[in-house]
Chains A and B, each alone.
Chain A
Amino acid sequence: MKAGGNLEKILEKGEFAVTGELGPPKGNDIEVVKKKAEMLRGNVDAINVTDNQTAIVRMSSITAGALLVQMELEPVMQMVCRDRNRIAMQSDIFGATALGIKNMLCLSGDHQSFGNQINSKNVFDIDSIQMLSMVKRMRDEKKILDVDEEIEGEIKIFIGAAANPFAEPFEFRPLRLAKKVEAGVDFIQTQCIYDMKLFKEWMKAIRDMGLHEKCHILAGVTPLKSVGMAKYMAKNVAGIIIPDEIIGRMAKAPKGKKAEEGIKICCEQIDELREIDGVHGIHLMAIEWEHRVSEIVEAAKLLPRPTP
């Protein structure tokens, strides 16, 4: 075991894992974290805590993650390269693991121009692949970057990263995953999947390279709440492809039943994803829809969650 957390145990046992996502509050209101977390309890194996996602200032992922640990829930702490240099990253990883966080996700991070601090300076001292190898070194060699001195303590962390099969250049994407595997990734969460054909092609390339045996791939899904959301995401969110057929289904659904249709589509996607060789779980990103997660995982026949 690398960190001995819930997510790692489930994946190592070969069970189909489910991770969820929690966006920390735009402030210090602990109740927001608690309320969202309770909605996810029992429905997912681990909860991603986003790190100032879309560059909107929120409670830090370490703090919100530590609150989940106190609640006996398992966080996946996201960490982006945008806001921290290698000094701050390594220091925060010391701190996060000291507080009982056992999983992390190494990300580039959305550019600050998307958020509410557009005048800020960004960091990008190291990139997400360099971060993966840095964290692996901290865990496996007990050393920080470039320094031979042994770390005081042990960094037990299960290391994740993202993959986006839907961003161009498509042909490079499997190669990029291969680099993440080489850098030491344990699990991968993909961007939201709507274009199943493209995802299957990507998975085939991944299998052909044998990468599915070197890391656990969790397929990303996001239930659509409305036609507006579908159209907005298709048009404005870089790296997301929503086929017209799905937008059409959302449009055709009767008024007042749009959300149900979105959940139905999501469950069908989960069914299909479970059948794909090399997919070891799903990452359910129900954005500001935590209260519908139990309904989704139940309808997708993902309950009860295994106890590792």
Chain B
Amino acid sequence: MIVAERKPYEEIKEMLSGYKNILIVGCGTCVSVCMSGGEKEVGILASELRMSSKTDGKDWEIEEATIERQCDREYIEPLKDKVEKADVILSMGCGVGVQFISEVFPAKIVLPALNTEFYGATISEGVWAERCGGCGNCILHLTGGICPVARCSKSLFNGPCGGSNKGKCEINPEVDCAWQLIYDRLKALGQLDKLKEIIPPRNWSSSRDGGPRKIIREDLKL
């Protein structure tokens, strides 16, 4: 899922100054699962803002709505009536949601309530960690199912640097060394031979480095 965190409350408050009718839009997908922008979090933020409105004399009118997905036009369009009444939309979706709502309602200002962080998994309750860099050219079959692009701090392709220390990364003893994980996994699978091959310089054009990406599937186009 896309993992995001809510922005600091003060930053959100600051963004909203000068507006009156605020529509907070949650998203029912990734950010609901990582508990940063689903229906529940929309309710919490709305309550906080209503309280500030009273105590700080902000005169805010807060409206709430959580839709299935903010990355699909069909779920955004039914918001039309609520959107028309709002001066500003505060999206609790990921960065995609913020942008896509404003693409559907180009006349409206859409503000981000979250910081979108990474593609990750739920490790345990309240803990999420990055697993994929979305680089567009997967090599997990070569690296024991552990991604060096997303999980090695230096995105190295040919083994651990000299900073690997007792299984941890030189940047932080809380961070696993991805190459230690890769080594251990391949060893357990009896596939250490895979590490002997030099992985050549990579073609990053499939990644963000090639410019903004777009996929067109002719078989699915209407």
Contacts and interface: CB of A to CB of B under 8 A. Distances in A.
Contacts of A108: 154, 156, 161-162
Interface of A: 81-82, 86, 108-111, 113-114, 122, 124-130, 133-134, 145, 162-164, 167-169, 171-172, 175-176, 178-179, 182-183, 191, 238-239
B183 A110 contact: no
B171 A113 contact: yes
Contacts of A133: 198, 200
Interface string B160-176: 11111111001110000
B198 A179 contact: yes
A130 B165 contact: no
A299 B201 CA distance: 45
* Max chain A C-beta neighbours (<10 A), residue from B158, B166, B180: B158
B159 A176 contact: yes
Contacts of B159: 129, 172, 175-176, 179
B53 interface: no
Given A111-B154, A124-B155, A145-B201, A172 B162 contact: no
Given A130-B201, A145-B201, A169-B183, A179 B164 contact: no
B77 interface: no
B158 A129 contact: yes
B170 A239 contact: yes
B183 A172 contact: yes
Contact of A129 (B183, B198, B204): B198
B198 A167 contact: no
Nearest to B170: A238
Closest 6 pairs (CB-CB, A-B) = A164-B162, A238-B170, A129-B158, A238-B165, A238-B163, A108-B161
Contacts of A145: 201
Interface of B: 153-167, 170-172, 177, 179-180, 183-184, 195-196, 198-202, 204
Contact of B180 (A114, A126, A169): A169
A127 B154 contact: yes
Contact of A167 (B154, B157, B163, B199): B163
Given A124-B156, A125-B204, A127-B156, A182 B164 contact: no
5 contacts: A111-B153, A126-B201, A169-B183, A175-B196, A239-B165
B155 A191 contact: no
Nearest to B164: A167
A109 B153 CA distance: 11
Given A130-B201, A167-B164, A238-B165, 8 more contacts: A111-B153, A111-B170, A114-B170, A168-B165, A168-B167, A172-B195, A238-B164, A239-B170
A238 to B, nearest CB: 4
Contacts of B155: 124, 127
A163 B157 CA distance: 16
Contact of B157 (A122, A127, A162): A127
B221 to A, nearest CB: 33
B84 to A, nearest CB: 41
Given A111-B154, A130-B201, A168 B180 contact: yes
Contacts of B198: 129-130, 133, 179, 182-183
Contacts of A122: 154
* Max chain B C-beta neighbours (<10 A), residue from A110, A125, A238: A238
Contacts of A86: 201
Contacts of B166: 168
A117 B160 CA distance: 23
Contact of A179 (B177, B180, B196, B204): B196
Given A111-B171, A130-B200, A168-B167, A81 B162 contact: no
A169 B158 contact: no
Contacts of A167: 160-165
Nearest to B165: A238
A229 B196 CA distance: 37
A215 B24 CA distance: 64
Contacts of A179: 158-159, 196, 198
A164 B162 CA distance: 5
A162 B179 CA distance: 17
B208 to A, nearest CB: 12
B201 A239 contact: no
